[in-house]
């Protein structure tokens, strides 16, 4: 389902999350390991405030492991705990309860010193559409409790899902909006399937992807589509279009008149990217921490 975000929606979504945050100890911020910055909500720091937060780099199975490590180091340098996970098969998910408790150690110690029995940590999963919130809730619950798909604004009674003895999870995640204002972020979100293809032209998305891949993963591109002369830099859209055309010819994406069907060629490229056929790729690198702190 496509969500049309507009300012009223964003204000309402923010308020809904803030209401849920009042109920929990720790926020689990789910992001896409292939586009860690573009898949973050631009106001996340303001929304989560001082609530302890664990950043979960999901879909790590599809991301470049070296870059996932670089992003994890970046977020840790900014003071956040991180875990790289694959919610689909469960890699890393078992570590979430212990990490969550670590984040609320001070609170637990206070409870113990007052003679109280520490209760399980209470957490809320927050993230943009399609990042894997429902998949993770179901994985942590060990059964299907979350409906996949996004229905912002649909409210029902809050329920706690017990996941072992250490963690309780709110059954409805907090749905955040992605970074619409930055056009490159938009292309990355469309490339990974976080926003629907109709929102941006698929061939423009493919050209952006080709520019990134030529510079960062040129060998993969050369090998997959038989492009031995691919340059490292595709300096403009025209040069990217030429590569898309070469891919289209190789893959038989032709119109009746024998011309390349760019949309079809773009579809081939993006399907290969999303399904991991181009290997494990990350489409953006972390800024240096000193840039961020300026």
Q: What is the DSSP string of 101-162?
A: HHHTHHHHHHHHHTTPPPPPEEEEEEE-TTSSHHHHHHHHHTS--SPSS--TT------EEE
Mark 51-87 as b/e (b = at least 16 C-beta within 10 Å).
Answer: ebbbbbbbbbbbbbeebbeebbebbeeeebbbbbbbb
Q: How far is the CB of 174 from ligand G4P (least distance, A)?
A: 10
Spell out the residues 6+ positions from residue 269 whose beta carbon is closer than 8 angstroms to its own: 206, 209, 210, 244, 247
Tokens describing residue 96: 């979430």
Q: How far apart are CA 95 and CA 202, in angstroms?
A: 38
For 169, which DSSP code? E
Per-residue mark of binding to ligand G4P, 246-285 (x: CB under 6 A): ----------------------------------------
Cα within 13 Å of Cα(13), Cβ side: 24
Closest to ligand G4P by CB, 39 or 100: 39
Per-residue mark of binding to ligand G4P, 138-177 (x: CB under 6 A): ----------x-x---------------------------
How many residues touch ligand G4P under the rule CB under 6 A: the total is 17
Candidate residues 20, 53, 59, 179; the one interacting with ligand G4P per rule CB under 6 A: 59
Query: Which CA distances in Å does 246 have to 176, 267, 269?
Result: 38, 14, 12
Candidate residues 82, 130, 172, 192; the one interacting with ligand G4P per rule CB under 6 A: 130
Q: How far is the CB of 103 from ligand G4P (least distance, A)?
A: 22
Closest to ligand G4P by CB, 127 or 178: 127
Q: How far is the CB of 44 from ligand G4P (least distance, A)?
A: 15
Can residue 62 be called a binding residue for ligand G4P (CB under 6 A)? yes
Closest to ligand G4P by CB, 88 or 111: 88
Candidate residues 51, 61, 166, 250; the one interacting with ligand G4P per rule CB under 6 A: 61
Candidate residues 135, 163, 172, 192; the one interacting with ligand G4P per rule CB under 6 A: 135
The footprint of ligand G4P (CB under 6 A) covers: 58-59, 61-62, 86-88, 127, 129-135, 148, 150
């Amino acid at each position: 389902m496509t969500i049309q975000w507009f300012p009223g929606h964003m204000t309402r979504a923010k308020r809904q999350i803030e209401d849920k945050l009042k109920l929990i100890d720790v926020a689990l911020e789910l992001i896409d390991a292939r586009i860690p910055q573009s898949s973050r909500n631009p106001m996340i720091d303001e929304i989560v405030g001082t609530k302890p937060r664990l950043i979960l780099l999901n879909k790590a199975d599809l991301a470049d492991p070296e870059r996932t490590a670089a992003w994890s180091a970046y977020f840790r340098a900014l003071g956040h705990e991180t875990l790289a996970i694959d919610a689909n098969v469960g890699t890393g998910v078992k570590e979430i309860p212990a990490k969550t408790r670590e984040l609320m150690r001070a609170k637990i110690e206070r409870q113990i010193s007052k003679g109280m029995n520490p209760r399980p940590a209470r957490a809320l999963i927050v993230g943009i559409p399609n990042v894997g919130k429902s998949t993770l809730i179901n994985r942590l619950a060990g059964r299907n409790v979350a409906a996949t798909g996004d229905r912002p604004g649909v409210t029902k009674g809050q329920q706690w899902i017990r996941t072992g003895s250490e963690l309780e999870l709110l059954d409805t995640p907090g749905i955040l909006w992605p970074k619409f204002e930055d056009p490159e972020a938009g292309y990355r979100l469309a490339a990974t399937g976080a926003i629907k293809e109709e929102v941006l032209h698929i061939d423009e998305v493919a050209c952006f992807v080709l520019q990134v891949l030529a510079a960062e993963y040129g060998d993969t591109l050369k090998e997959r589509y038989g492009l031995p002369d691919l340059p490292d830099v595709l300096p403009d859209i025209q040069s990217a279009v030429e590569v898309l055309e070469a891919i289209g010819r190789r893959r038989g994406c032709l119109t009746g008149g024998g011309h390349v069907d760019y949309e079809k060629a773009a579809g081939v490229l993006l399907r290969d990217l999303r399904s991991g056929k181009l290997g494990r790729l990350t489409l953006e690198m972390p800024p240096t921490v000193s840039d961020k702190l300026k």
